[in-house]
């Protein structure tokens, strides 16, 4: 089939596009052309590139018609963050695509009521990003039910893998936490370190998309999580990272209000967002309907990303 990937040079796209090419699809990547894929792959030589500024093209009404003009059987939208953007695209593609897949986020949920939490949990997003993605999901699935628009939504967790700094054991993106653990120095974690994070390797996210395409009849009108088989606690995660560097973990646990005063405001906000959600999502539905089984555990995915940071010199081993 002909597959158009909007935002295909990002982290997930760097794994997704080569997979699509290897499966025999004719792939068009639509992006601003400002970034190369996160990893090199020979499949990119067989990819057609379309350079466009989505925001500007949406503003003048040309983006949707331009995507429709590609004549793609499948459109995968990795970079839609507003319901108006989704509406613009659906109106242009209605009746012209076999399958439309949207990349959402587990941030469409608030804190879990049960764990591992299924896709049927209510959408109670805590932040604007999650609210925007929840509105897009609601719109797309309503279009699927009412008008037969062939939409599927995939909700990734904390995406990680080579070329990307993973959410760290303190719940933010500061790579210094990994260095502190690598050095065997003490790391402070908020509360008791029992809040959870739910990572996923970018390639496992890519495989949920390809599994949905391969199982179109089961996927249309549905949402699916894309996460590792299990979540990790901050404490367990920190202990694992220290062990990768041959260190005994030195952890202390600090009440939230005291802990937040020890880091800068951006790190504190990121940590609060992660621990307030404490996600732990189920992969049962993707396994049952799509036959998908994550290849990487959360710690395996994170370790691969950390190894890449060591190779790049961003984290030093104290051997």
pTM score, two decimals? 0.96
pLDDT of residue 34: 64
Domain 2-159+199-226 fold: Rossmann fold (3.40.50)
pLDDT of residue 319: 64
The residue ranges of every structural domain in the chain are: 2-159+199-226, 164-196+232-279+298-311
Instruction: Divide the 319 residues of the chain into consecutive groups of 10 and give the mean pLDDT of each group.
Output: 94 95 97 76 91 95 97 97 97 98 98 95 97 98 98 98 94 97 98 98 98 98 98 98 97 98 97 98 98 98 97 88
Q: How many whole angstroms separate alpha carbon 204 and alpha carbon 226?
A: 7
pLDDT of residue 14: 92
pLDDT of residue 32: 85
pLDDT of residue 114: 93
């Amino acid at each position: 089939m002909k597959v158009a990937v909007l935002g295909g040079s990002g982290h997930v796209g760097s794994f997704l596009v080569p997979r699509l090419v290897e499966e025999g699809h004719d792939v068009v990547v639509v992006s601003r052309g400002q970034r190369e894929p996160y990893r090199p792959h020979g499949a990119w030589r067989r990819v057609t590139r379309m350079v466009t500024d989505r925001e500007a093209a949406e503003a003048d009404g040309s983006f949707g018609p331009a995507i429709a003009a590609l004549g793609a059987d499948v459109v995968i939208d990795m970079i839609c963050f507003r319901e108006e953007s989704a509406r613009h695209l659906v109106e242009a593609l209605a009746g012209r695509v076999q399958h439309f897949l949207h990349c959402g986020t587990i941030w469409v949920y608030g804190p879990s009521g049960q764990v591992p939490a299924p896709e049927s949990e209510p959408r109670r997003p805590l932040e604007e990003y999650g609210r925007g993605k929840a509105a897009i999901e609601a719109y797309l699935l309503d279009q699927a039910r009412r008008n037969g628009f062939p939409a599927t939504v995939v909700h990734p967790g904390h995406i990680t893998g080579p070329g990307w700094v993973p959410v760290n054991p303190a719940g933010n993106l500061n790579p210094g936490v990994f260095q502190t653990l690598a050095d065997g120095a003490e790391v402070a974690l908020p509360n008791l370190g029992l809040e959870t994070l739910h990572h996923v390797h970018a390639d496992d996210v890519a495989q949920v998309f390809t599994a949905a395409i391969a199982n179109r009849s089961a996927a249309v009108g549905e949402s699916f999580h894309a996460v590792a088989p299990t979540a990790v606690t901050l404490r367990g995660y920190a202990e694992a990272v220290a062990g990768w560097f041959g260190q005994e973990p030195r952890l202390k646990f600090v009440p939230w209000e005291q802990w937040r005063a020890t880091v800068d405001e951006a790190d504190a906000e990121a940590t609060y967002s992660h621990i307030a959600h404490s996600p732990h999502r189920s992969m049962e539905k993707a396994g049952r309907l799509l036959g998908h089984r994550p290849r990487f555990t959360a710690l395996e995915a994170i370790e691969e990303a950390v190894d890449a940071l060591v190779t790049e010199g961003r984290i030093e081993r104290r051997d």
